[in-house]
Amino acid sequence: MAKITPVPGRDGDKYVPFTQRGGNESLVYFTRDLSAAGLQRIYERVGGDITGKVAIKLHTGEKHGPNIIPRPWVQALIEKGLPGASIVETNSYYEGDRYTTEQHRETLKVNGWTFAPVDIMDEFGTAMLPVRGGKWFKEMSVGQTLLNYDSLLVLTHFKGHTMAGFGGSNKNIGIGCADGRAGKAMIHTTPGQDQWSIAAEELMERMTESAKATVDHFGRHIAFVNVMRNMSVSCDCEGTAAEPVVTPNVGILASLDILAVDQACVDLVYALPEKDHAALVERIQSRHGLRQLSYMKELGMGNDRYVLLDIDNGDVVIQPKDAVKGVKPFEG
């Protein structure tokens, strides 16, 4: 990817504390248990309407990517809680190990995603989903077979991102469900300019409108799980070239509200000691990534206020500072 130099924008570099937010609250569940069992337990809190033919959208990574969600966790989740579910992906916009379907399938084999069907949704074409209330798009081009599913579990490795600042549920489906040629070009590229010409606030808004198309399509049959583990400032699309992880592992969060779960993850990052969050906070703010959150709220996609329930301790209500209390420095 080209080096991105964001220009000053609306608010994507400004963190808004919880006490300065208004509106309703959503439920967000939290566990410190970073394991297959922890993932299964927290999924059960939000999976009630994940029914019928189920798709699991996750980032399967570039070849040998070190930071992706562990495959055994996903395998156990499917076997115990989502039998028959398919993992879904789309081809990449950049030339690499996932640019064509053939390359993508080879990468899936290398990375061990062989225990369940993997549907590369744009393998045979695209479909258009309406974008309601957007200012950049009226519709978004997605992988064609996304429309074949009744429910979607958005299973996200929460981390930094070279262009988006951070990658949460919003990025996972906003970029990850857009097809590799038309949809991703709509988000990233001004026609006639560099492939990565759109950045900062405009990129966050375009990506969020794309995510909204998918959220609206599935309605109540969608749930969001964010895994805060191995949080490099780099995305999983950078594979073995990702920056070293320096941010401590935190836990897993889940919600039926895409804004609430991404906002809670960001809040937990900011609640870490400065020495532990400095690199990730710098990445988020320098790319104006916080615009993802404020624009989701403007589009009516959810609430940036939430009740954080600690499922490790009887669903007691906790604050972000409680969730990260005592986290250990990351050890590679």
Token pair in block for residue 327: 């986290």
pLDDT of residue 65: 86
Q: Which domains does the chain have, with CATH numbers?
A: 24-323 (3.40.50)
Q: Which residues pair with 160 in a beta bridge?
A: 166
pLDDT of residue 2: 40
pLDDT of residue 236: 66
Burial 219-251 (b: 16+ CB within 10 A, else e): eebbbbbbbbbbbbbbbbbbbeebeebbbbbbb
pLDDT of residue 245: 83
**What are the average pLDDT values for consecutive 10-residue runs of the chain, which has 332 residues?**
44 94 97 98 98 97 91 97 97 94 96 97 98 97 98 97 96 98 97 93 97 98 98 78 86 98 98 96 97 97 98 98 93 72
pLDDT of residue 331: 77
Say whether pTM exceeds 0.75.
yes
pLDDT of residue 7: 41
Asked whether the beta carbons of 214 and 179 are under 8 A apart, the reply is no
Q: Show Cβ contacts of residue 177 under 8 Å, excluding neighbours closer than 6 positions.
A: 57, 88, 90, 121, 142, 143, 146, 183, 210, 211, 214
pLDDT of residue 27: 98
Q: How far are the Cα atoms of 49, 120, 169, 294 from residue 222, in angstroms, in the given order?
A: 7, 19, 11, 21
pLDDT of residue 6: 40
